[in-house]
Amino acid sequence: MSVLLGERGEDIVVPVLRGSAMSAVNISECCARAPERGAAAAAVLKAIERFEIDVVPFDMTQAVRAAELREDARRLGISLGDRACLVVAEQRRVRLFTADERLSRVSIGIEILLIR
């Protein structure tokens, strides 16, 4: 999201962004936040296309797994979008790059790297 929204930390993410994966839930968040930063949702979609990001539909398996993380969500104050992000990384067994320190406190067996 940092690259799509032009936030601090994007320099760390850009080298690994091409061909990465993002939950459709997180794409929705980016599109919703883009106007708050003076950009259009269309710019977010162009960036997704340019970086060949795999948009992962939020399916039933992910919905159930995100619900299982509800205790962590309450304790840490993380959102459904955060949990959707975690679940995609967990399913694909890949590193998760995030600007949200709270996500690094969720233990689900994946590497979580803070970008700022």
Domain residue extents for the chain: 10-114
CB contact at 8 A, 56 and 24: yes
Query: Dihedrals φ, ψ of 103, to 5°?
Result: -65, -30
- 19's tokens: 């061909």
pLDDT digits (tens, 9 = 90+) for 31-72: 998 999 888 999 999 999 999 999 999 999 999 999 999 998
Q: CATH classification of 10-114 is 3.20.190.10, yes or no?
A: no
pLDDT digits (tens, 9 = 90+) for 73-107: 999 999 999 999 999 999 999 999 999 999 999 99
pLDDT of residue 52: 96
- 50's tokens: 């340019």
pLDDT digits (tens, 9 = 90+) for 4-39: 777 788 889 889 999 999 999 999 999 998 999 888
77 vs 74: CA distance, rounded Å:
5
